[in-house]
């Protein structure tokens, strides 16, 4: 019997080949601006000191004997405090349905499955553009996707009027995915006042805000400030959903640690929703990992280690901010006729450069500089040592 003859290869992921091509390039000048992961000023991956301390703290503990459930509960407790605030009524009154998830991707996927199961006729609205995996995740959960206008090519900023129009014109009670800070890939976030208006319009339209929080701390350098948008929505009376990831802000990418939470009307509803989410998760992958979440809990529950983490998040953000300033200044020194102020206006890990696919290609061929075809530059790949080389290359391909 020929079981699998009809299976053709999946379409190639344009980003997946990027790292391979980068590794194969033998130029000493090569730069990888594709990876959305933090790198230090030498271009090296970083293990945070807070992670090392947490690791030492849990070393030798009996985690292999621990019931995964206990680890999970602790992780969820700490994660929801981090996003909604220590003194949130929802946290105190156990009106949050929270479950451990396989990093941000797993949290999004779990929510999409939950949405499909309990709101089978619903759709999801994404900002245009958004992290490309959002489309894949909700597609695999069989939820129809729509987009709302977000980024304005001309101004390289937010198209707020169009965004509000699209939110207004969506059917009442629609699901919307929002990036609460450090929008990926554009680096463009609404202002505080704009968020206030968005929250108000969501109320009027009775939309569901689902926040994908993959970069808490890495937009402003401050963990609480980056959660402000979500807390403001909650204050305005929204029962929000949130996917959290510790991949970027703790540098724990490979450990797949995350949390999915949904605010509920009361504790009974929270318990019901949590049990349903656990059931969906259980049928997909059994129970989630234990060691990584134990690390995260050790960081979040120890005031000293948590304070150390906060300073390290700030330092990562500041290094990236410095590189934004250096890159912009270098381009201006080269008398580039273009306006590069968006490098410093945009926040988070990425600069959405507006380079065309041809220019991106040219950077790779002639300058050994690798980035996503959409022109997204991971600022984490920029260092004191390569910023001038990069500025020069950008100038050459855009002049």
209 binds ligand PMP (CB under 6 A): no
Within 13 Å, how many C-alpha atoms sit on residue 121's CB side?
Answer: 2
Instruction: Please give the Cα distance from 214 to 108 (Å, whole number).
Output: 11
Strand partners, 210: 177, 241
φ, ψ at 201 (rounded to 5°): -65, -35
First to last CA, the chain: 60
Choice between 115 and 184, CB closer to ligand PMP: 184
Q: What region, left, alpha or beta, does residue 76 occupy, with left being phi > 0 and alpha being psi -120 to 50 degrees? A: alpha
CA-nearest of 277, 112, 72 to 210 is 112
150 binds ligand PMP (CB under 6 A): no
The minimum distance between CB 105 and ligand PMP, in angstroms, equals 3
Site for ligand PMP in 36-55 (CB under 6 A): 36
Integer Cα distance of 310 and 27 in angstroms: 37
Residues tagged active-site: 131, 212, 248
Rounded least distance, CB 125 to ligand PMP, Å: 15
Dihedral over Cα of 271, 272, 277, 281: its sign: positive
214 binds ligand PMP (CB under 6 A): yes
For the bound state, the minimum distance from the C-beta of residue 136 to ligand PMP, rounded and expressed in Å, comes to: 12
Reported residue count of the chain is 399
For the bound state, the minimum distance from the C-beta of residue 280 to ligand PMP, rounded and expressed in Å, comes to 17
Q: Which is nearer to ligand PMP, 221 or 258 (CB)?
A: 258
Among 101-109, 271-279, 361-369, 376-384, which window interacts with ligand PMP (CB under 6 A)? 101-109
Interaction mask 11-40, ligand PMP, x per CB under 6 A = -------------------------x----
Residue least distant from ligand PMP (Cβ): 104
Footprint on this chain of ligand PMP (rule: CB under 6 A): 36, 103-105, 131, 179, 184, 212, 214, 245, 247, 253, 258
């Amino acid at each position: 019997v020929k079981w699998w003859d009809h299976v053709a290869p999946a379409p190639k992921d344009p980003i997946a080949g990027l790292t391979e091509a980068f590794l194969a390039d033998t130029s000493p000048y090569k730069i990888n601006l594709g990876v959305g992961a933090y790198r230090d000023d030498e271009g090296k991956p970083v293990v945070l000191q807070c992670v090392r301390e947490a690791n030492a703290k849990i070393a030798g503990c009996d985690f292999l004997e621990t019931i995964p459930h206990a680890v999970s509960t602790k992780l969820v407790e700490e994660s929801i405090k981090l996003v909604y605030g220590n003194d949130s009524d929802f946290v105190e009154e156990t009106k949050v349905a929270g479950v451990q998830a396989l990093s941000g991707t797993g949290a999004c996927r779990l929510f999409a499955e939950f949405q499909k199961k309990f709101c089978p006729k619903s759709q999801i609205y994404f900002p245009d553009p958004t992290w490309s995996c959002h489309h894949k995740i909700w597609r695999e959960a069989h939820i129809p996707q729509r987009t709302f206008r977000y980024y304005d090519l001309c101004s390289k900023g937010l198209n707020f009027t169009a965004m509000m129009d699209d939110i207004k014109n969506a059917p009442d009670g629609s699901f919307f995915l929002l990036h609460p800070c450090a929008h990926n890939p554009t680096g463009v976030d609404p202002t505080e006042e704009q968020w206030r208006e968005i929250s108000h319009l969501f109320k009027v339209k009775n939309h569901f805000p689902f926040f994908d929080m993959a970069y808490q701390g890495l937009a402003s350098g401050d963990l609480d400030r980056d959660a402000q948008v979500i807390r403001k929505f909650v204050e305005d009376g929204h029962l929000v959903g949130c996917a959290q990831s510790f991949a970027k802000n703790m540098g724990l990418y490979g450990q797949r640690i995350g949390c999915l939470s949904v605010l509920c009307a009361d504790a009974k509803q929270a318990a019901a929703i949590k049990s349903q989410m656990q059931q969906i998760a259980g049928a997909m992958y059994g129970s989630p990992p234990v060691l990584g979440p134990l690390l995260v809990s050790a960081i979040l529950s120890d005031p000293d280690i948590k304070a150390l983490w906060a300073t390290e998040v700030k330092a990562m953000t500041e290094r990236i901010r410095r590189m934004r300033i250096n890159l912009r200044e270098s381009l201006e020194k080269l008398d580039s006729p273009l306006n590069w102020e968006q490098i410093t206006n945009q926040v988070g890990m990425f600069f959405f450069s507006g380079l065309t696919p041809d220019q991106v290609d040219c950077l790779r061929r002639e300058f050994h500089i690798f980035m996503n075809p959409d022109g997204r530059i991971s600022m984490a790949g920029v260092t004191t040592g390569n910023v001038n080389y990069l500025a020069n290359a950008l100038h050459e391909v855009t002049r």
